Amino acid sequence: MSHGRKINFAPGPSALPLEVLEKVHKELFNYNGSGMSILELSHRSALFADILNTAKQDLKELLKVPDNYHILFLQGGGTGQTAASALNLIGLKPSHMADYMVTGAWSAKAAKEASKYGKINHVFPKMESYTGIPDPSTWTMNPDSSYVFYCDNETIDGIEFPEIPETNGVSIICDMSSNILSRCVDVSKFGVIYAGAQKNLGTAGVTLVIVRDDLLTAIQPNCLSILDYSIMSKNNSLLNTPPVFSIYVLGLMAKYVKENGGLEKMEENSRIKSNAIYSVIDESDGFYKGKIDQKYRSRMNVVIRIGKPNACETLEKKFIEEAAKQDLISLKGHRSVGGIRISLYNSISIEDAEKLVEFMKDFQKQNS
């Protein structure tokens, strides 16, 4: 592997492209001839203003963000934004109610957090386990809700929405932390999109927030200034000291996507990679097992168990150990669900996925 690196299938913080890391390495000690490291750069400097504004412009072009939206770089991660989005907008209508589509661990946490600030209507019937998205005929939506929330891709459970759900004009708040920049999306259909950077956008420490202008007038008076979309937009995300380095890397990642075919190419790559992995699973005669309905299987996070139920843990431990010997790492499932989790973010190449495919086939032959 180049630079002694391994193929890192981590769910986040995730792998970064080698060319991005090389750029960081080159500029780490002396950014742009300033005589200072990027780690030392003042957030009030002209150099950082250029970094921040260029990152915003590149994201605007990539995502085709309409002019009536603000792009913010905030702190607190996706977890912080589950609170911030509710604090900002749950009072948009007198009901102080919001609809939540719970499809996995992250949307469940978001609903629980939002319940501190208003009433929560669960759109879907309660599920014993997360295996997909219920049929729209079973949905219970409240037209008086301030917004509808959903998580576009459940990183832990491996469920992804194939399309934007119909909300009949109610504003949508969407957590896109683990699949943003992996496919084309119509931003104009959302009120708020947020995404922690540590999957497809760079390093941990910064969260991208895209918010529609008209929603900036609906902020609750008890919302903390650091979480207030209106205040942060007026200050260009610089109310307080921002995560300078994380925004810098986010900018490099946006540039990387632009220079490597844009969202159309990222979407094509993700389809090729995930299809290759799912083909091995589907053709394994039950050796590799996924529980997610095929229509809702995530392109970003493939979650599986291996072997018979009474032998899963032993085989999975062996799978992880043998994969590591082939420089295929970070494949252990989330502690809450176990098993194997294969994360296929933009930084994982088609060639990387093909190496894992070959390993999976060989592992099955040796252990069936």
> Given pLDDT bands bounded at 50, 70 and 90, which one contains residue 219?
confident
CA dist 131 and 294 (Å) reads 9
Cβ contact 150:162 at 8 Å: no
CA dist 340 and 136 (Å) reads 30
Q: What is the pLDDT of residue 250?
A: 98
Q: What is the pLDDT of residue 218?
A: 77
Cβ contact 153:289 at 8 Å: no
Place of tokens 């391994």: 6
Mean pLDDT for 242-254 is 98
Instruction: Supply the residues annotated as catalytic.
Output: 106, 175, 199
Secondary structure of 262-315 in the HEC alphabet?
A: HHHHHHHHHHHHHHHHHHHHHCCCCCEECCCCHHHECCCEEEEEECCHHHHHHH
CA dist 129 and 305 (Å) reads 15
Average pLDDT, the chain: 96
Q: How do residues 98-137 score in pLDDT, each as one tens digit?
A: 999 999 999 999 999 999 999 999 999 988 899 999 999 9
Q: Which CATH class is domain 20-259?
A: alpha beta
Per-domain boundaries in the chain: 20-259, 262-367
Q: List phi, psi (to 5°) of 301.
A: -130, 105
Contacts (Cβ under 8 Å, ≥6 apart) of 74? 80, 81, 84, 206, 207, 209, 226, 227, 232, 237
Q: How do residues 66-77 score in pLDDT, each as one tens digit?
A: 999 999 999 999
Residue closest to 351 by CA, chosen among 18, 62, 63: 18
Judge whether residue 1 has pLDDT over 80.
no
Q: What is the pLDDT of residue 2?
A: 62
Q: How do residues 272-331 score in pLDDT, each as one tens digit?
A: 999 999 999 999 999 999 999 999 999 999 999 999 888 799 999 999 999 999 999 999
Structural domain 262-367, CATH architecture = Alpha-Beta Complex (3.90)
Q: How do residues 126-145 score in pLDDT, each as one tens digit?
A: 888 999 999 999 999 999 99
* Whole-model pTM over 0.85: yes
CA dist 273 and 256 (Å) reads 19
